[in-house]
Amino acid sequence: MKGVDIFEERTVCVPQPTSHYAMVVGVDGRFLGSDDDGETYVAETISDNLMWRVRGERLEHAQTSVVLEMSTAEAGRFQLSVDGIPLDADGRRGPNGSPYSIVHGPERLPSEYLQHLTENGWVCLAATLSPEIIDSLQRIACTDGYADQSPDRSQRQICQNSALAKTAVEPISVWLARQYMQTDDIRLAHSPGIGVMTPDDGQRVVQGWHSDYPYHWGINAAGKVPTPSGKTVMGVQRIVCVSEFTKYRGATAFKLGSHALDHGPPEEWGVARDAYQPGHRAANGLPYNGPDADVIEAPPGSMILFDTRTWHRAGINRSDQNRAAILMDMTPAYIVPYSDTTGDYRALVENAVYDELNEREQHEFQRLMIHRFLGPAGPQSVIGTDQELTANIPLTDRTSY
Ligand SMILES: [Fe+2]
């Protein structure tokens, strides 16, 4: 019997931050920090030591009493100094000053996000992308301020501007995924792409409840994880809210904390494999949308990270506006990728947009996008699809395995 669509999920409202930390980026993309003794240095690895506050012409360290003086060095960059002594490219005091950029940082300390993620299996980094990146992503998506424009189908999204690749290597979220999965060897399971959800028409097929790749519980897919994985975490999904996420505009619905159950969603909630059956919505209504589910509402530029075991489903966009988001499932290097990432990697590297990424960002993009065979001798050949074999070998009916 068809249920009633009540949209009574519990709303978890993540407000627009009133302030952000600043991060200080050297010419090669490494971040300036200060250790507990007040010694400045540059590093790639994220920690609370890399967080600063801008106070007029000064930078105050978030953890120590270190204060840096800023003076304009070149367009968009600053010379930093301590007691009149400039900082060099390694963040040390010395005669050869080096320019630094001040960039939009997170609302909270990295360790605070990690604690929330570890304790709850999810975390939201509110509006953690800069306004410039958000604007560029909305421009690719043709949503929000660009709703009257048409998407550029002539080239891959990743090459349309540098914002998508810069979002993929956003340092705090990638660090959180590494920490949560307990390995530095993580990959993007698929290429980053912006998805646009159009307003619901009341009839279309909608996604049912499921767990994401590689678990794929609730989904009719081959290769899903057959048993609970316990402390071994095989995926962290990262949803980037390109548009504002509200329940009315189709924000993702979750059963927050369900990762800890280590099994898939209940059949009676309307799982994905059933929701795709013809006529399912007309006969059964929407998947479960009652008060035992949760919807995270968050401002544009937010990143929602969750253990991919967490039960969730796409929201229902009841507004009259399109809503854009990016999904970026991150998996340990030992998991087979969800799709071939080499095409987008190669296209970006060969595009002029690639030069807008600094050295750290280029290196991180390669680490995340290039899958390799692993073995005792270390990473080996790059893994990609074999087009000829793909074309010539027919797919095997899964039921005949
Ligand atoms: Fe999903």
pLDDT for the residue numbered 379: 85
How far, in Å, from the CA of 223 to the mean position of ligand 1?
A: 16
Would you give the end-to-end CA distance of the chain in angstroms? 35
pLDDT for the residue numbered 1: 47
pLDDT for the residue numbered 273: 95
Beta bridge partners of 58: 55, 69
Contact present, 239 and 325 (Cβ < 8 Å): yes
pLDDT digits (tens, 9 = 90+) for 37-55: 999 999 999 999 999 999 9
Beta bridge partners of 294: 10, 254
pLDDT for the residue numbered 34: 97
pLDDT for the residue numbered 68: 97
Residue 401 has pLDDT above 50, yes or no: no
Average pLDDT, the chain: 95
Cα-Cα-Cα-Cα dihedral of 147, 153, 156, 157, to 10°? 0
How far, in Å, from the CA of 294 to the mean position of ligand 1?
A: 14
Report the distance separating Cα 9 and Cα 181, nearest Å.
29
pLDDT for the residue numbered 74: 82
Q: What dotted CATH number matches 109-369? A: 2.60.120.620
Contact present, 147 and 321 (Cβ < 8 Å): yes
pLDDT digits (tens, 9 = 90+) for 161-173: 999 999 999 999 9
How far, in Å, from the CA of 211 to the mean position of ligand 1?
A: 6
Q: Would you state the structure tokens that stand for residue 369, as one six-digit string?
A: 């996008």
pLDDT for the residue numbered 395: 78
How far, in Å, from the CA of 210 to the mean position of ligand 1?
A: 6
Residue 152 has pLDDT above 80, yes or no: yes
Domain boundaries, the chain: 22-104, 109-369
How far, in Å, from the CA of 237 to the mean position of ligand 1?
A: 8
pLDDT digits (tens, 9 = 90+) for 84-112: 999 999 999 999 999 999 999 999 999 99
pLDDT for the residue numbered 99: 97
Report the distance separating Cα 299 and Cα 128, nearest Å.
10
Residue 2 has pLDDT above 70, yes or no: no
How far, in Å, from the CA of 271 to the mean position of ligand 1?
A: 11
pTM score, whole prediction? 0.96
pLDDT digits (tens, 9 = 90+) for 224-234: 999 999 999 99
Residue 135 has pLDDT above 60, yes or no: yes
pLDDT digits (tens, 9 = 90+) for 264-295: 999 999 999 999 899 999 999 999 999 999 99
Mean pLDDT to the nearest integer, 244-267:
98
pLDDT digits (tens, 9 = 90+) for 307-353: 999 999 999 999 999 999 999 999 999 999 999 999 999 999 999 99
Mean pLDDT to the nearest integer, 255-264:
98
pLDDT digits (tens, 9 = 90+) for 172-200: 999 999 999 999 999 999 999 999 999 99
How far, in Å, from the CA of 264 to the mean position of ligand 1?
A: 12
Residue 231 backbone phi and psi in degrees, to 5: -75, -15
Report the distance separating Cα 45 and Cα 100, nearest Å.
17
Mean pLDDT to the nearest integer, 132-143:
98
How far, in Å, from the CA of 158 to the mean position of ligand 1?
A: 21
How far, in Å, from the CA of 66 to the mean position of ligand 1?
A: 43
Q: Which residue has the higher pLDDT, 399 or 289?
A: 289
